[in-house]
């Protein structure tokens, strides 16, 4: 195991949570409801997603044997809880609106892409483009997220328990990205108005992304985010804030070297 | 210039006046020229082809009596609800932001009158556009500005934009002057700043990913909507094949003459290939995969007349799409605004600064006073008139070739006027049996 991975694992171990414990704890204040089970070993993705597109649906859903399948629980439009027992492939929880989708495993590329609202939580790691272009809601990755986490995000909150890869928050427009571990190269390249909080090291910041003062309101905001994400092992004061220098908001030939 | 001077002075072919002016502008400003419109250079195009018409071996159809069907169905491959068009001419994607809300409404009105579709653009779907478009194609672009599942479900089809003919491989830039409060709100950006549209999608790379992405969009919309893949003409044989492989219902192929709201002049004029050769290359791919007419091909980029429509269909397209011509039909570059064009340093027929928000015709602007100049009802009627004219012209040519449906037009109905066009369109040079590159 590489040394940096050992560091990450050690840091994760201090967060006073375990994946399964978090999933159990994450009730979101919802009352227990009737439960349906979709077994993806024998049933199709279509059956699952159709359930989530019925505006009168109220039953929570347990998805067993996801087997890394793509498009698990996409386009949800009802406030139900979907618990996925295992790993998922591309675009799990894509364009989610209102649902609470919990993945007890790892997620492939494009987790919660373009999410509008609701909660998505992954107990393991998430591959690249996590929460790309997401407009709203809360996305929590308890492990690490790969490259381009929060790319072009438009208003969501993303909390990553571990580290994020390079080009995370590229062209991030709105919302908050919290990284409890480290951030890879070119963090926040060409960022607009999103706010980035990183606890560990930042390999480098991208064009027009700068470290900013961590004021009281930011500490308060970050504490709220960590609380919402149910990540208790981190202290807000240990984070640094990054955002846009706003120097590239108007195209100027004098800035050509910045691109 | 006097006759004496005219006869004595010789303009350089290498440095004609517009080249000299561009060098002087570049030296003065230190930045490339950004403009709207499409390629202005001459490239081999539909004007280089002619229809043969009926003769001893083929019967024509009676122009004012016998039926010549123009209907087209798009999205028959996988979608539960394919799109039924009455005419083979659609309106291309143009954004609210680049265009005023009134212009988008006018496009919807004109298209709906004629039973065809219009298309959103970068920036999302406006209620005006949805409300006035019976058939609306929702573009899925790299920026995902305004993208949301509710609007996705309101759409009649989804067009995944991979590229654009005016700038294959390029993104976009909407200058701050056009980022009004409404435009900014729809795009989740601060008002008044320049906003970039990415050149690559944020969450997929390559055809294998695209296949998974298309599947996700089908799942979100319950497999109802046709899914188009729009490509800029650069490598249309491979791109079409890969779009088919990725599961697209429709391929939209945009040649280099296609318009844009704002791109570098060097990009518009020097990247991509003309529409003429691109069609044959795309049709080759579809035929080799046994997908011609099963995955429909919509062609855009420099379509101006019914002759262009008929020639594109004869080369194997199922429908065409118009953008620049539709804006001209609404009133763009109209002589009635000549005085104001002059103040902007241009003239009717030359105006291409669609990016700067000062369009005297009120089309490419977010300035409320300018935008109010375009009456959406009147604009819609003009567009419907124009579409009607294109359709009648297309039918005229199809009947002359003896076709009872415009889709029955075929390459064998045409010859080329130039060697280049003969090679690109793969029809014989007029008066010969010669197709360059394909022997006699």
Residues A55-60, mean pLDDT to the nearest whole number: 87
Residues in A closer than 8 angstroms to B209, CB to CB, are 90, 109
* Structure-token pair, residue A46: 């279509």
Classify strands B34-37 and B260-264 as parallel, antiparallel or unpaired. Answer: antiparallel
* The pLDDT value given to residue A7: 52
Residue B284 confidence (pLDDT) above 80? yes
Contact A156, A115 (CB under 8 A): yes
* Structure-token pair, residue A153: 């995000």
Strand partners for B292: B295
* Structure-token pair, residue A259: 């691109």
Residues B181-196, mean pLDDT to the nearest whole number: 88
Residues B69-88, mean pLDDT to the nearest whole number: 98
Question: Tokens 């985010």 label which residue?
Answer: A225
* The pLDDT value given to residue A18: 38
Measured CA to CA, the distance from residue B296 to residue A27 in angstroms comes to: 48
Measured CA to CA, the distance from residue B9 to residue B16 in angstroms comes to: 12
Name every residue in A having a CB less than 8 A away from some CB of B: 45-46, 49-50, 53, 70-71, 74-75, 77, 89-91, 94-95, 97, 109-110, 113-114, 116, 129, 132-133, 135, 148, 151-152, 154-155, 170-171, 173-174, 190, 192-193, 249-251, 253
* The pLDDT value given to residue B49: 98
| B183 — pLDDT class (breaks 50, 70, 90) | confident
CATH classification of the domain holding A245: 2.160.20.60
Residues B99-103, mean pLDDT to the nearest whole number: 94
* The pLDDT value given to residue B161: 97
Measured CA to CA, the distance from residue B192 to residue B177 in angstroms comes to: 6
Domain residues for the domain of A73 are: 3-258
Residue A16 confidence (pLDDT) above 50? no
Rounded to a whole number of angstroms, the distance from the CA of B423 to the nearest CA of chain A is: 41
The answer to whether B176 contacts A74, with C-beta atoms less than 8 Å apart, is no
What would you report as the CA-atom Rg of chain A, rounded to the nearest whole angstrom? 18
Q: Closest CB to A45: pick one of B190, B193, B219.
A: B219
Residue B388 vs residue A252, higher pLDDT: B388
**From the candidates B174, B185, B208, B219, which should be mutated to test the interface with A, based on the most A CB atoms within 10 A?**
B219
Percentage of chain B exceeding pLDDT 90: 84
The answer to whether B212 contacts A89, with C-beta atoms less than 8 Å apart, is yes
Measured CA to CA, the distance from residue B49 to residue B428 in angstroms comes to: 10
Q: What average pLDDT is seen over chain A?
A: 89
Measured CA to CA, the distance from residue A39 to residue A22 in angstroms comes to: 23
The answer to whether B203 contacts A113, with C-beta atoms less than 8 Å apart, is yes
Non-local (6+) Cβ contacts of A241 within 8 A are: A195, A196, A197, A211, A212, A213, A214, A218
Rounded to a whole number of angstroms, the distance from the CA of B316 to the nearest CA of chain A is: 35
* The pLDDT value given to residue A258: 66
pLDDT in tens, B344-386: 999 999 999 999 899 999 999 999 999 999 999 999 999 999 9
pLDDT in tens, A144-184: 999 999 999 999 999 999 999 999 999 999 999 999 999 99
The answer to whether A133 contacts B203, with C-beta atoms less than 8 Å apart, is yes
Structural domain boundaries of chain B? Answer: 3-34, 36-332+369-425
Chain centroid to CA A259: 27
Residues in A closer than 8 angstroms to B173, CB to CB, are 251
**From the candidates A49, A96, A243, which should be mutated to test the interface with B, based on the most B CB atoms within 10 A?**
A49
Residues B311-326, mean pLDDT to the nearest whole number: 98
* Structure-token pair, residue A139: 């996305």
**From the candidates B220, B222, B247, B264, which should be mutated to test the interface with A, based on the most A CB atoms within 10 A?**
B220
Residue B180 confidence (pLDDT) above 90? no
Look at residues A147, A137, A107, A112 and name the one whose alpha carbon lies nearest to residue A125. Answer: A107
* The pLDDT value given to residue A248: 86
Residue A9 confidence (pLDDT) above 70? no
| A233 — pLDDT class (breaks 50, 70, 90) | confident
Residues in B closer than 8 angstroms to A95, CB to CB, are 148-149, 152, 220
| A254 — pLDDT class (breaks 50, 70, 90) | confident
Residues in A closer than 8 angstroms to B204, CB to CB, are 109-110, 129
| A17 — pLDDT class (breaks 50, 70, 90) | very low
Is the dihedral angle over the CA atoms B174, B176, B177, B180 positive or is it negative? Answer: positive
Residues B334-346, mean pLDDT to the nearest whole number: 96
Measured CA to CA, the distance from residue A79 to residue B31 in angstroms comes to: 51
Indicate the CATH number of B36-332+369-425 among 3.30.9.30, 3.20.20.70, 3.40.50.2300, 3.40.50.12500. 3.20.20.70
Instruction: Answer yes or no: is the ipTM higher than 0.95.
Output: no
| B193 — pLDDT class (breaks 50, 70, 90) | confident
pLDDT in tens, B228-253: 999 999 999 999 999 999 999 999 99
Strand partners for B324: none
pLDDT in tens, A99-148: 999 999 999 999 999 999 999 999 999 999 999 999 999 999 999 999 99
Kindly report which listed range (B126-135, B228-237, B404-413) carries the lowest average pLDDT score: B126-135
Helices (H), B118-203: 127-132, 149-154, 181-187
Residues B397-413, mean pLDDT to the nearest whole number: 97
pLDDT in tens, A68-85: 999 999 999 999 999 999
Contact A136, A156 (CB under 8 A): yes
């Amino acid at each position: 195991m590489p040394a940096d991975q050992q560091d990450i694992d050690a840091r994760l171990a201090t967060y006073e949570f375990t994946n399964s414990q978090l999933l159990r704890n994450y009730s979101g204040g919802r009352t227990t409801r009737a439960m349906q089970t979709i077994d993806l070993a024998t049933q199709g993705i279509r059956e699952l997603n159709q359930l989530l597109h019925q505006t009168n649906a109220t039953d929570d859903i347990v998805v067993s044997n996801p087997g890394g399948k793509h498009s698990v629980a996409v386009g949800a439009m009802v406030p139900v809880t979907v618990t996925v027992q295992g790993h998922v492939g591309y675009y799990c929880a894509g364009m989610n609106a209102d649902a609470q989708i919990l993945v007890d495993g790892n997620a492939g590329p494009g987790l919660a892409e373009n999410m509008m609202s609701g909660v998505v939580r992954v107990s393991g790691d998430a591959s690249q483009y996590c929460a790309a272009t997401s407009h709203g809601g809360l996305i929590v990755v308890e492990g690490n997220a790969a490259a381009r986490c929060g790319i072009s995000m438009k208003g969501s909150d993303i909390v990553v328990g571990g580290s994020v890869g390079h080009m995370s928050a590229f062209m991030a427009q709105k919302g908050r990205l919290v990284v409890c571990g480290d951030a890879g190269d070119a963090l926040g390249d060409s960022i607009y108005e999103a706010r980035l909080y990183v606890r560990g090291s930042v390999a480098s910041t991208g064009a027009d992304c700068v470290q900013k003062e961590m004021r009281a309101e930011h500490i308060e905001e970050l504490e709220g985010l960590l609380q919402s994400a149910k990540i208790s092992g981190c202290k807000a004061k240990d984070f640094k804030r990054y955002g846009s220098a706003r120097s590239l908001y108007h195209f100027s030939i004098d800035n050509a070297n910045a691109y | 210039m006097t006759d004496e001077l005219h006869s004595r002075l010789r303009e350089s072919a290498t440095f004609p006046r517009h080249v000299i002016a561009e060098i002087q502008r570049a030296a003065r400003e230190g930045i490339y020229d950004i403009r709207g419109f499409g390629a202005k250079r001459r490239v081999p195009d539909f004007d280089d082809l002619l229809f043969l018409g009926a003769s001893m071996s083929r019967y024509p159809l009676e122009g004012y009596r016998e039926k010549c069907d123009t209907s087209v169905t798009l999205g028959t491959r996988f979608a539960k609800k394919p799109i039924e068009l009455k005419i083979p001419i659609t309106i291309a994607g143009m954004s609210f932001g680049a265009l005023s809300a009134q212009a988008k409404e006018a496009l919807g009105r004109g298209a709906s009158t004629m039973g065809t579709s219009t298309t959103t653009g970068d920036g999302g779907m406006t209620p005006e556009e949805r409300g006035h478009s019976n058939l609306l194609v929702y573009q899925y672009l790299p920026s995902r500005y305004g993208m949301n599942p509710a609007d996705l479900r309101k759409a009649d089809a989804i067009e995944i934009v991979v590229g654009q003919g005016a700038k294959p491989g390029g993104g976009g830039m909407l200058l701050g002057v056009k980022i009004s409060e409404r435009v900014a709100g729809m795009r989740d950006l601060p008002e008044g700043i320049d906003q970039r549209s990415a050149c690559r999608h944020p969450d997929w790379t390559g055809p294998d990913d695209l296949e998974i992405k298309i599947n996700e969009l089908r799942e979100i919309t319950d497999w109802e909507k046709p899914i188009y893949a729009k490509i800029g003409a650069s490598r249309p044989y491979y791109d079409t094949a890969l779009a088919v492989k990725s599961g697209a219902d429709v391929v939209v192929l945009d040649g280099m003459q296609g318009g844009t709201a704002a791109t570098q002049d060097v990009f518009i004029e020097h990247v991509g290939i003309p529409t003429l050769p691109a069609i044959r290359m795309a049709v080759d791919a579809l035929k080799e995969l046994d997908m011609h007419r099963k995955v429909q091909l919509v062609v855009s980029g420099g379509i101006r007349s019914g002759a262009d429509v008929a020639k594109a269909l004869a080369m194997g397209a199922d429908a065409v799409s118009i953008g620049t011509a539709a804006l001209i039909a609404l009133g763009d570059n109209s002589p009635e605004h000549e005085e104001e064009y002059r103040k902007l340093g241009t003239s009717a027929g030359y105006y291409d600064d669609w990016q700067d928000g000062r369009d005297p015709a009120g089309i490419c602007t977010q300035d409320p006073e300018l935008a109010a100049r375009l009456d959406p009802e009147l604009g819609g009627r003009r567009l419907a008139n124009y579409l009607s004219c294109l359709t009648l012209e297309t039918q005229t040519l199809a009947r002359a070739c003896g076709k009872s449906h415009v889709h029955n037009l075929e390459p064998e109905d045409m010859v080329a006027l130039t060697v280049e066009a003969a090679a690109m369109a793969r029809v014989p040079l007029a008066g010969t049996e010669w197709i360059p590159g394909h022997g006699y």
